């Protein structure tokens, strides 16, 4: 029964922090406003048969992944998580233990990020399980690294393990669970990484011109950022930037660049950084990069400069929003906009 | 394509108010905080095959109804709508015109209540259409009419047209669309009423002890409020309080009390009011009632005193949270907790 499930979940979550004046159990939650801050707000979903299948991950993984998918958006904009609401559709006969396991996944992220779940909706789903989370964050006024912030001369950086979660998705799809060599990729797919240092970084580093997560694929993110900024982008990643993918790409018979470019399962960060006087060597923002490198120590994630922003009109590319790539032989080719779209499948 | 749909929706919505620093189009929305206020926050869903069927209502009705379902929760707690986020699951091959019609329904409520939709998520649904809205409101600190606020001596009032939307639901279920006598009920089901004066009422009227909407059925609401308050309730509604249901109940072969008590389609308000010195006649809060009556003028909704709060232990009812009803012959009987549960269907 709905109210018993919710009481069980509330018990698992424990007492919320004082900013939660009313949590689970009424028509609406009531929160103190974070004085002197802005609110960031996002929503994201996990749907059985679209984002996951039950033979790919546990209910706990789905809850964890749902929360991280939302956190990733808030962190990409420099937000500090404030509170969350869930809205889930539960099929008839769905085991109560699985529902509690899903909530356990939410609770793990909630506790880790001090982000209380303050309420939600449970309804019957006529078909598969689906879950929506809505997440509020707080952010310093005047600092919002939007998708439209790129200018010519900016460098584009990627933070994360590009393509790794996509490799994990393909391993799940092809039922390659018994191959333990693929485990790191499968784990990256089930339990995406996030970058909680972004809140401080966004607040303090004025050379950050643009940021977004790559949850619709790196390719989509680069095109979207170029389009919204009204610039073109030249990709020129260093050799070996996808070395981490080689073993997985080999086992899966996939091209590493394709895994990284089209994958819509990674929650990596795409950052635009302005080279300025303070930033050191050759106009590149090396201090910022080393700051991020320190944040990433001890994790598999890395920061890589993948390209730079060029003026809108380049050669035959008359249109702003174009994305070009420099080939190993030095030639430059335009890329087509492709990538992950959760409305197709 | 997802981004085209979202751009179309953003165009239909028009420019957001200044409190929206970033609306649709980035990883997260950015809002100013409402200084000196609390935040109210709720989420609710509309799911094909559970809350509606396409032969019952248009996509525009579904969008409208989804927004009202959320508004109802915020208004019941005295909130003023601040901003909304949507998260929808769209089946393969879903007509784009229908999606735009759904958004049109959202836009109508958004404009009417000055409540911008500031972003959202669109994903593929492997099955039916489903939509979740998340709604923020603002409210005065120190005033939250919770479900637990009832005390012995309080009166229970119902604001609305109890059972009317349930009659409309049954008319839809039984395909009685050609009977124009049922139109008012069907319309109440498709386009629920809300009570925007509640924000002022909650802020100003300290004799309001408890409030909630009846979206899970009047019966569920009365039991839940009694349970959370730790009191028992004696229902004693006046004769004729369900006169508005008589024609529909007759056509549908339904018992009016059952329509009103079990119906989970109404968004009526259940209010607890304290009789106090200022409130006039016989300890009953007549001034508050006449204030609400003035607010309801020109609408089919009415306010009816349906009962009162009695001490926890009453006769054989040892348990707090009991609900009793006075029969026409003066005898008192306990009611069983039944009602609408969106996790069953």
Contact B22 A146 (CB under 8 A): yes
Please give the Cα distance from B211 to B149 (Å, whole number): 8
> Do residues B82 and B135 share a domain?
yes
Span B163-182, average pLDDT: 95
Question: In terms of DSSP H, where are the helices of A93-160?
Answer: 96-112
Please give the Cα distance from A73 to A302 (Å, whole number): 19
Q: Lay out the sheet containing A302-310: strands in order across.
A: A208-213, A269-273, A155-160, A302-310, A232-235, A323-326, A332-334
Contact A29 B40 (CB under 8 A): yes
Token code pair at residue B203: 């802020």
- Choose among B44, B47, B73: nearest Cβ to A125: B47
The ipTM estimated for the assembled molecules is 0.92
Instruction: Please report whether residue A340 resides in a domain.
Output: no
**pLDDT value for A6:** 81
Note the pLDDT tens digit of each residue in A165-216.
999 999 999 999 999 999 999 999 999 999 999 999 999 999 999 999 999 9
Position A321 pLDDT exceeds 90:
no
The pLDDT confidence band at residue B338, using thresholds 50, 70 and 90, is: confident
Note the pLDDT tens digit of each residue in B252-282.
999 999 999 987 789 999 999 996 434 444 5
> Do residues A118 and A179 share a domain?
no
Contacts of B200 (CB under 8 A, 6+ apart): none
What percentage of residues in chain A have a pLDDT greater than 90? Answer: 81
Q: What is the DSSP string of A224-269?
A: HHHHHHT-EEEE-PPTTTTGGGHHHHHHHT--HHHHHHH-SS---E
Residue from B135, B21, B119, B17 nearest B84 by CA: B135
> Do residues B159 and B257 share a domain?
yes
Kindly identify which residue of chain A lies nearest to residue B148, measuring between CA atoms.
Answer: A26
Q: At what angle do helices A164-173 and A183-190 cross, to 10 degrees?
A: 100
Say which DSSP state B317 is in: B
State the nearest Cα–Cα gap between A343 and chain B, in angstroms. 4
pTM: 0.93
Position A316 pLDDT exceeds 70:
no
Instruction: Please report whether residue A119 resides in a domain.
Output: yes
> Do residues B213 and B100 share a domain?
no
Token code pair at residue B208: 């309001």
> Do residues A258 and A214 share a domain?
yes
Report the range out of A276-280, B298-302, B337-341 with the highest average pLDDT. Answer: B298-302
Kindly identify which residue of chain B lies nearest to residue A118, measuring between CA atoms.
Answer: B41
User: Cα torsion for A170, A174, A177, A182, to the nearest 10°?
Assistant: -40
Which chain B residues have a beta carbon less than 8 Å from that of A132?
43, 45, 87, 121, 132, 134
Integer-rounded Cα radius of gyration of chain A:
21
Instruction: Please report whether residue B340 resides in a domain.
Output: no
> Do residues A115 and A206 share a domain?
no
Which chain B residues have a beta carbon less than 8 Å from that of A68?
none
Residue from A191, A214, A203, A188 nearest A80 by CA: A203
Distant-in-sequence contacts of B310-315, Cβ < 8 A, 24+ apart: B310/B152, B310/B231, B310/B232, B310/B233, B310/B234, B311/B152, B311/B231, B311/B232, B312/B230, B312/B231, B312/B232, B313/B232, B314/B232, B314/B234
Instruction: Please report whether residue A116 resides in a domain.
Output: yes
State the nearest Cα–Cα gap between A52 and chain B, in angstroms. 11
Domain boundary among A94, A110, A139: A139
> Do residues B166 and B116 share a domain?
no
**pLDDT value for A282:** 52
**pLDDT value for A124:** 94
Q: Mapping DSSP to helix (H, G, I), strand (E, B) and coil, where does residue B321 land?
A: coil
Contact A73 B28 (CB under 8 A): yes
Position B126 pLDDT exceeds 70:
yes
* 8 Å CB contact between A119 and A85: yes
> Do residues A109 and A161 share a domain?
no
Instruction: Please report whether residue B146 resides in a domain.
Output: no
Most B-contacting residue of A40, A122, A132, A223 (CB-CB within 10 A), to test interface: A132
What percentage of residues in chain B have a pLDDT greater than 90? Answer: 82
The pLDDT confidence band at residue A277, using thresholds 50, 70 and 90, is: very low
State the nearest Cα–Cα gap between B170 and chain A, in angstroms. 19
> Do residues B115 and B202 share a domain?
no
Instruction: Please report whether residue A144 resides in a domain.
Output: no
Which chain B residues have a beta carbon less than 8 Å from that of A52?
none
Which chain A residues have a beta carbon less than 8 Å from that of B89?
45, 47, 50, 130
Domain boundary among A83, A111, A139: A139
- Number of structural domains (chain A) is 2
For residue B32, the enclosing domain spans: 2-139
Please give the Cα distance from B110 to B83 (Å, whole number): 9
> Do residues A186 and A211 share a domain?
yes
Please give the Cα distance from B129 to B124 (Å, whole number): 9
State the nearest Cα–Cα gap between B235 and chain A, in angstroms. 22
A-to-B residue pairs, Cβ atoms closer than 8 angstroms = 235
Contact B26 A147 (CB under 8 A): yes
Instruction: Please report whether residue B267 resides in a domain.
Output: yes
> Do residues A107 and A209 share a domain?
no
Please give the Cα distance from B278 to A330 (Å, whole number): 85
Domain boundary among B139, B171, B196: B139
Half-sphere exposure of A211 toward its Cβ, with a 13 Å CA cutoff? 27
Query: Distances from the Cα of A286 to the Cαs of A281, A304, B262, in angstroms?
Result: 7, 11, 66
Q: Mapping DSSP to helix (H, G, I), strand (E, B) and coil, where does residue B125 land?
A: strand
Q: What is the DSSP string of B199-268?
A: HHHHHH-TTEEEEEE-TT-HHHHHHHHHHHHT-EEEE-PPTTTTGGGHHHHHHHT--HHHHHHH-SS---
> Do residues A159 and A247 share a domain?
yes
Instruction: Please report whether residue B149 resides in a domain.
Output: no
**Residue A46: CATH number of its domain:** 3.30.1330.10
Most A-contacting residue of B26, B138, B223 (CB-CB within 10 A), to test interface: B26
Please give the Cα distance from B113 to B110 (Å, whole number): 6
**Residue B242: CATH number of its domain:** 3.90.650.10
């Amino acid at each position: 029964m709905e109210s018993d499930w919710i009481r069980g979940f509330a018990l698992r979550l424990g007492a919320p922090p004082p900013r939660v004046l009313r949590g689970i159990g009424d028509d609406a939650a009531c929160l103190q406003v974070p004085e002197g801050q802005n609110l960031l707000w996002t929503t994201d979903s996990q749907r059985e048969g679209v984002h996951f299948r039950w033979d790919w991950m546990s209910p706990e993984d789905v809850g964890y992944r749902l929360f991280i998918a939302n956190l990733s958006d808030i962190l990409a904009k420099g937000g500090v998580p404030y509170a969350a609401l869930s809205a889930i559709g539960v099929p008839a006969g769905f085991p109560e233990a699985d529902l509690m396991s899903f909530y356990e996944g939410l609770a793990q992220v909630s506790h880790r990020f001090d982000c209380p779940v303050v309420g939600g909706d449970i309804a019957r789903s006529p078909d598969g399980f689906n879950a929506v989370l809505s997440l509020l964050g707080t952010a310093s006024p005047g600092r919002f690294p939007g998708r439209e912030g790129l200018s010519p001369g900016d460098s584009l950086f990627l933070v994360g393990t590009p393509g790794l979660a996509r490799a994990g998705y393909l391993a799940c799809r092809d039922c390659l669970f018994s191959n333990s060599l693929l485990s790191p990729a499968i784990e990256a797919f089930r339990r995406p990484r996030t970058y909680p240092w972004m809140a401080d970084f966004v607040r303090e580093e004025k050379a950050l011109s643009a940021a977004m997560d790559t949850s619709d694929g790196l390719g989509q993110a680069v095109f979207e950022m170029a389009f919204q900024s009204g610039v073109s982008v030249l990709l020129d990643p260093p050799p070996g930037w996808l070395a981490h993918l080689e073993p997985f790409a080999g086992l899966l018979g996939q091209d590493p660049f394709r895994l990284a470019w089209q994958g819509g399962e990674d929650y990596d960060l795409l950052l635009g950084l302005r080279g300025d006087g303070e930033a050191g060597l050759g106009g590149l923002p090396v201090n910022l990069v080393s700051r991020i490198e320190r944040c990433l120590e001890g994790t598999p994630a890395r920061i890589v400069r993948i390209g730079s922003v060029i003026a809108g009109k380049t050669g035959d590319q008359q249109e702003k929003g174009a994305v070009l790539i420099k080939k190993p032989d030095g030639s430059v080719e335009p890329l087509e906009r492709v990538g992950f779209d959760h409305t197709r499948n």
